[in-house]
Amino acid sequence: MTQTIRDLALACRDAAQAVAELSTDEKNALLRSMALSLEDDTPAILQANASDMAAAEAKGTAGAMLDRLKLDSGRIAGIASALREVAELPDPVGQVTRSEVRPNGIRVERVRAPLGVIAMIYEARPNVTADAAALCLKAGNGVILRGGSEAIHSNTAIATALKRAISAAGVPEAALTLMTDLSREAMVELLQLTDIVDLAIPRGGEGLIRFVAAHARVPVIKHYKGVCHLYVDASADPELALRLLVDGKVSRPGVCNALETLLVHRDIAASFLPDAAAALRANGVEMRGDGTTRALVPAAAPATDEDYAAEFLGLVIAIRVVDTLDDAIAHVRRYGSDHTEVIATRDEANAARFVKALRSAVVMVNASSRFSDGGELGLGAEIGISTTRLHAYGPMGLESLTIERFVVQGEGQVRHPPKA
Amino acid sequence: MTQTIRDLALACRDAAQAVAELSTDEKNALLRSMALSLEDDTPAILQANASDMAAAEAKGTAGAMLDRLKLDSGRIAGIASALREVAELPDPVGQVTRSEVRPNGIRVERVRAPLGVIAMIYEARPNVTADAAALCLKAGNGVILRGGSEAIHSNTAIATALKRAISAAGVPEAALTLMTDLSREAMVELLQLTDIVDLAIPRGGEGLIRFVAAHARVPVIKHYKGVCHLYVDASADPELALRLLVDGKVSRPGVCNALETLLVHRDIAASFLPDAAAALRANGVEMRGDGTTRALVPAAAPATDEDYAAEFLGLVIAIRVVDTLDDAIAHVRRYGSDHTEVIATRDEANAARFVKALRSAVVMVNASSRFSDGGELGLGAEIGISTTRLHAYGPMGLESLTIERFVVQGEGQVRHPPKA
């Protein structure tokens, strides 16, 4: 088995070289043909998905998980259409990001190039199989996909459809490699192939991500969780703040850019918090607050340190009244996850201080935390979110799957010309 | 001891927050005052260096190592002047690299921010203590320096001078933390502080770098070695190619951007190789070649596979005659180190193919490999060179010590507006 994982990865690396040399038009044509192939295979994919669903139901899998696993023809059409959208995105590969002629006449260009081989480690969602493949290939990379065992039949059927298109385009199909050995040992082996795998991106629950981070020797870009804060400054427009609060907490509480904690300046707490509490209660949100909050909002339960550090992934919010902007900043520094923070304010100096003092990947001034998403921020599509302060920070799009290299054009310049 | 390394690193992280909030002017003033402080302490630094030198000599340390270790007042003045040069460089922090207004009116900016805490692991050169500190601080970071034991007195004296200036600027002096526990255990502990250290940069021999890579849990950006190739295309201007060859191999053979292997197209080999061999011999370069090379250059010894993979760090070169450009590319892919490759050619299509087919960090067309250096490529100063295809690739300057984050300005936009 040791030989096999390494062989798979080596084959993917060789195929990645072929992908790297495709033109933009060739890559876009490939993505469109992958979409067609997926649509053609709809019956086979649905049948494979049915056996995954039956196995999951037999195991008593929870409803939310079943929903993530389930495919129907509408969802498959959606996946195909996502592939076509990736084809429409600008190609980062070959982009010249800077160009300078040095005093000695050499032209130094920075040019975007593919990373190489990317390992995606993910859980139940079979759509990730196609989405990740599309983004990795568009950026000129090979991809090794290691999905969850609960989706293995669906993932295999999707990969089969995609590989047919890859093969038809004259690219070795190992450019998309789906791991079928789903043992932890095989995953660990993959994550230690430092001479082959350039980057691992885990997507899923905190447990999976911590496992990947603990066992990987290859670089990992990840985020564990999103503990996103809304700070309502003394100068905030209360209606605006309320809008951000409800959108942030209620519009989709199970995702990482949902709000988990509300911080309110004491000067606005007495007027803001009762209205906020009414809106939260009307949306079924459970509140946990400090003493000052509870004096204003009797319905709030006492908040613990764990509540302030929690990603609830549901309709619960932690609330604290703070004396100053600096106290709000200190709270975020202590409990935050470097994901996304929001300030509601009419004071530009306070906004600037909040942005500068916090090191989170995304900081919003008077906008909802729910915009912390590749599509919403203009990246086109998202391969993941990074709270690792290296290479990429925040939502990651196609560009995050490339690296800038140096290309120099000269006319025979040397560093130490021979003495005349 | 376990407590101590973590405590040191935590103090550096807190201090890094203070550095991150300094303005450009404040950082530049700090760097200039560090330069002054270093000059003021010249006698103490020379005295400390004398005891390092005495200990190294007593241990029978090799001459090249002694030369790297030795300081005199001229070298200290050079270090101070390098600090002032870093003060003159543009500040990457706060640079807005992109700005876009989305259809919903939110403005999405990408803004450069400091990485956080950087661990520099290096060997004998005491100048790295000051150079690395200057670059890390200018980019708004804290730095933990772990130099070699042979330079401990020199490094301590330099750090003492620099810390005095840091303290005087009102920044906690832990922003520059010099490790004095030089045990391997302490280094490993530092390299595993994934919640504190954002990046480790090892600089030195391949042994040190492999040790760091093997033991680190924090991200590492590194290069093991530079096996740089010059490919002389059939269409090359022979005089130009000869110039690149001599400069690349001879001007400073002990550095990573020196040439190690010469590849020559067979159609030009008979005319080029004898002249090349004469020039190499005149410069004392030992040659090792394949059969075709040796038929043309009787002075060349037979080359082994190890020779083609070697970074000689001296006046030795491996030579091979190739049948085609593709064979040259295949050779570089097999034996290369992803550092720097050069093509000498008058054929634009061949140049483009060479650049695209090779994934090395730096590819030069008709220019010397010796330009693969941060200063020469316009980065201003160099903190290291990366052949890790992530975050930075090739020579790394100030910008490599920052990350792009998202700053969003809105007017109350939400993702899911409540239905009217």
> The tokens of A284 are what?
């079924």
Task: Judge whether B220 and B213 are in contact, CB under 8 Å.
Answer: yes
Residue A84 CB neighbour total at 10 angstroms: 15
pLDDT of residue A344: 98
- How many residues does the structure list for chain B? 420
Cβ pair A219:B390 closer than 8 A? yes
- Option in B247, B363, B389 nearest A407 (CB): B363
- DSSP E strand stretches across B251-339: 259-265, 286-289, 301-302, 316-322
* Residues B366 and B241: beta-carbon distance below 8 Å: no
Same structural domain for residues B201 and B239? no
Asked whether the beta carbons of residue A199 and residue B246 sit closer than 8 angstroms, the reply is no
- Mutation target to probe the A interface, by most A beta carbons within 10 A, among B244, B389, B396 is B389
* Among B100, B106, B358, the residue to mutate for chain A (most A Cβ within 10 A): B106
CB contact under 8 A, A251 and B355: no
The reply to whether A39 falls in a domain is: yes
Q: Do A405 and B116 touch (CB under 8 A)?
A: no
Ramachandran area for residue B178 (φ above 0: left; ψ -120 to 50: alpha; else beta)? beta
pLDDT at B240: 98
Q: Is residue A13 part of a domain?
A: yes
| Statement to judge: residues B277 and B360 lie in one domain | yes
Q: Based on the domain organization, do A70 and A211 belong to the same domain? A: yes
Q: Do A284 and A186 share a structural domain?
A: no
Which pLDDT tens digits describe chain A residue by residue (420 residues)?
Answer: 455 899 999 999 999 999 999 999 999 999 999 999 999 999 999 999 999 999 999 999 888 889 889 999 999 999 999 999 999 999 999 999 999 999 999 999 999 999 999 999 999 789 999 999 999 999 999 999 999 999 999 999 999 999 999 999 999 999 999 999 999 999 999 999 999 999 999 998 889 999 999 999 999 999 999 999 999 999 999 999 999 999 999 999 999 999 999 999 999 999 999 999 999 999 999 999 999 999 999 999 999 999 999 999 999 999 999 999 999 999 999 999 999 999 999 999 999 999 999 999 999 999 999 999 999 999 988 999 999 999 999 999 999 999 999 999 999 999 998 775
Q: Do B413 and A368 touch (CB under 8 A)?
A: yes
Are A39 and A32 contacting, i.e. CB atoms less than 8 angstroms apart?
no
End-to-end CA gap in chain B: 63
CB atoms within 10 A of CB B343: 30
Verify whether the Cβ–Cβ distance A115 to B20 is below 8 Å: no
The predicted structure's pLDDT at residue B124: 77
What residue in A sits closest to B250 (Cα-Cα)? A416
Structure token digits, residue B15:
């201090």
Residue B167 lies in a domain: yes
Residues A44 and A95 in one domain: yes
- Using an 8 Å CB-CB cutoff, list chain A residues near B413: 366-368, 371
Do A142 and A183 lie in one domain? The reply is: yes
| Cα maximum dimension of chain B | 88
Is A418 a member of any domain? no
Q: What is the pLDDT of residue B219?
A: 94
Q: Are residues A205 and A351 in the same domain?
A: no
Q: What is the pLDDT of residue A420?
A: 56
pLDDT value at residue A1: 45
Strand partners, B107: B101, B409
Are B213 and B277 within one domain? no
Gyration radius of chain A's alpha carbons: 24
In this structure, are B216 and B294 located in the same domain?
no
Q: CATH number of the domain that A331 lies in?
A: 3.40.309.10
For residue A51, the model assigns a pLDDT of 96
Boundary-marking domain end, from A171, A202, A221? A221
From the list B115, B246, B364, which residue is nearest A390 (CB)?
B115
Question: What's the complex ipTM?
Answer: 0.95
Residue B85: CB atoms within 10 Å: 16
Q: Is beta strand B107-114 parallel, antiparallel or unpaired with respect to B96-101?
A: antiparallel
Could you tell me which residues are beta bridge partners of residue B363? Answer: A407, B341
Farthest-apart Cα atoms in chain A, separation: 88
Query: What are the CA-CA distances from residue A73 to residues A40, A48, A69, A125, A160 (Å)?
Result: 11, 13, 13, 15, 17
Residue B298 backbone class (left: φ over 0; alpha: ψ -120 to 50; beta: rest): alpha
Which of A219, A364, A414 is closest, CB to CB, to B247?
A: A414
Residue B385 lies inside a defined structural domain of this protein: no
As given in the structure block, the two tokens for residue B269 are 């080999």
In a domain, B416, yes or no: no
Separation CA A322–CA A344 (nearest Å)? 14
Domain count, chain A: 2
B291 shares a domain with B196: no
Q: How near does any CA of chain B get to the CA of A101, in Å? A: 9
pLDDT in tens, B101-156: 999 999 999 999 999 999 999 997 899 999 999 999 999 999 999 999 999 999 99
| Helix or strand (DSSP H, E) at A230 | strand A228-232
Residue whose structure tokens are 């050619």: B345
Minimum CA–CA partner of B363 in chain A: A407
Tell me how far apart the alpha carbons of residues B383 and B305 are, in angstroms, rounded to a whole number: 32
CB neighbour class for A348 (10 Å; exposed up to 12, middle 13-18, buried from 19): exposed
Specify whether A212 is located in the same domain as A240.
no
Predicted local distance difference test score (pLDDT) of residue A235: 98
Say whether pLDDT at B184 is over 70: yes
**Mutate: best of A118, A239, A389, A399, partner B, most B CBs <10 A:** A389
Residue type, A125: R
Distance of CA B201 to CAs A230, B66, B387, Å?
36, 23, 12
Closest Cα partner for B132 from B405, B396, B378?
B396
Nearest 5°: the CA angle B9, B12, B13 is 90
* A140 and A17 belong to one structural domain: yes
**Final residue in a domain of this structure, among A168, A190, A221:** A221
Q: Kindly tell me if the per-residue pLDDT of B1 is higher than 50.
A: no
- Residue in this structure with the two tokens 């100063």, named with its chain if needed: B381
| Residue A86 burial (C-beta neighbours within 10 Å; 0-12, 13-18, 19+) | buried
Distances (CA, A) of A411 to A3, B345, B372: 47, 10, 16
Which residue does chain A place closest to B214, by CA atoms?
A: A217
Per the prediction, chain B carries an average pLDDT of: 96
Nearest to B132 by CA among B412, B397, B407, B404: B397
**Would A409 be classed as within a structural domain?**
no
Closest-CA residue of A relative to B94 is A356
What tokens does A405 get?
Answer: 């290299």
Of the three residues A177, A193, A221, the one that is the final residue of a domain is A221
- Neighboring chain A residues of B368 at a CB cutoff of 8 Å: 410, 413-415
d(CA B354, CA B229): 12
3-state SS string over A307-320? HHHCCCCCCEEEEE
Domain carrying residue A21:
2-221
CB atoms closer than 10 angstroms to residue A248: 30
Nearest-CA distance A380 → chain B (Å): 12
Burial tier of B261 (Cβ tally within 10 Å: 0-12, 13-18, 19+): buried
| Rounded CA separation B75/B125 (Å) | 11
Summarize the confidence of residues B311-330 as an average pLDDT: 97
pTM above threshold 0.80: yes
pLDDT at position B420 is: 57
d(CA B83, CA A159): 54
- In a domain, residue B340? The reply is yes
First to last CA, chain A: 63
Query: Distances in Å between the alpha carbon of B361 and those of A114, B42, B74, B391?
Result: 11, 39, 34, 12
CA contacts within 13 A on the Cβ side of A253: 20
Residues composing chain A: 420
CATH number of the domain enclosing A175: 3.40.605.10
